[in-house]
Amino acid sequence: MGTHHNPRFEQLVDQARARITETDVATIRARQERGEAFTLIDVREESEWQRGHLPAAVHLGKGIIERDAETHFPDLNTPLVLYCGGGYRSALAAEALQRMGYTNVASMDGGYRGWTTARLPIVTPDAQ
């Protein structure tokens, strides 16, 4: 990914990734283009969301997703795809949702940076 994190954080994310489903930017874009039904959740900080986010995404930051997920998604089988800046925070959040009983959760590896690198559309405050 190009981003270097502390070793213990990397280990924590690697452990989460071993227990979750990961997907990638190209797969999510293809699913959108096919009109598949799923909810895209941006788990980044509010300030990151405000600078730009993926179209049709909802914002539930990693700091509150466990608290608020059940309110927004009472059906534990709801297809959820989480993303963050690069796929680290979303992997941790996906694992937490699975522990809460959600059965159809994936983390988008590459995250927002991967999406923008692929020159896919984003929503920015100026465009809203």
CATH of the domain at 98: 3.40.250.10
| Residue ranges for the chain with pLDDT beneath 50 | 1-2
What pLDDT score was predicted for residue 1? 43
Residue given tokens 């059940």 in the structure block: 70
The answer to the question of residue 28 being in a domain is: yes
Domain containing 75: what range? 7-118
What pLDDT score was predicted for residue 5? 82
The answer to the question of residue 19 being in a domain is: yes
Active site residue 84: yes
Given the residues 84, 92, 96, 105, the one annotated as active site: 84
pTM: 0.91
Helix (H, G, I), strand (E, B) or coil at 123: strand
Q: Is the dihedral of CA 104, 86, 62, 36 positive or negative?
A: negative
Structural domain total, the chain: 1
The answer to the question of residue 2 being in a domain is: no
What are the φ and ψ backbone dihedral angles of 109, each rounded to 5 degrees?
-65, 140
The answer to the question of residue 123 being in a domain is: no
